[in-house]
Amino acid sequence: MGIKSFQGARKQSAQASQAVSSLRVRDYMSTNLVTFRPDQSVQEVVEGIIKNKISGGPVVNERNELVGIISEGDCLKQLSESRYYNMPLEHDNVEKRMVRDVETIDGDMNVFDAANKFLTSKRRRFPIVENGKLIGQISQKDILKAALQLKGENWNSTTKSGADR
């Protein structure tokens, strides 16, 4: 069966456009975070990762300023090296293993733009910093939860205008 008519791309209504922009990262980010300190041992981080069932977390100083991020991979790397050099885990700290150059995102960013940023960066989480302080973190799972919270009608209303339904 062929195409009977083609109207071209449909423009979003102002209401639908506003609905999309109102889906902000800050509304879906996690704020009750497990954080680590630079002076903690890697062993403590491993214990925290396992206990809290997380894959890593932000590293903050005493003023709650983001100074790095540490992941399971960083801990595995240290574990592998410690076995090779026969050095116990407790002799290494987070500051030596964390990633210092941490990419953050704005809490006011649209969740769809954040989803795209996840896809292009290959990251699992992004910290959100406001006025120099860590205020939250958004993960790929948080973005998926945001998508699930949108009912079928709401999802369609963000992509179609009322006249197109």
- Give the Å distances, CA to CA, from 32 to 27, 126, 135, 140, 163: 13, 14, 9, 16, 42
Which pLDDT score, from 0 to 100, does residue 88 have?
A: 63
- Give the residue with greater pLDDT, 23 vs 31: 31
AA letter at 8:
G
Q: Taking 50 as the threshold, does the pLDDT of residue 79 lie above it?
A: yes
All domains of the chain, ordered by start, with CATH? 24-164 (3.10.580.10)
**pLDDT bracket for residue 5 (50, 70, 90):** low
Residues 90-139: tens digit of each pLDDT: 667 899 999 999 999 999 999 999 999 999 998 888 999 999 899 999 99
Sign of CA dihedral 87, 89, 91, 95: positive
Q: Taking 90 as the threshold, does the pLDDT of residue 36 lie above it?
A: yes
pTM: predicted TM-score of the whole model, two decimal places: 0.73
Give me the chain's average pLDDT, please.
81
Say how many residues make up the chain. Answer: 165
Lowest pLDDT segment from 6-15, 74-83, 108-117? 6-15
Q: Taking 70 as the threshold, does the pLDDT of residue 7 lie above it?
A: no
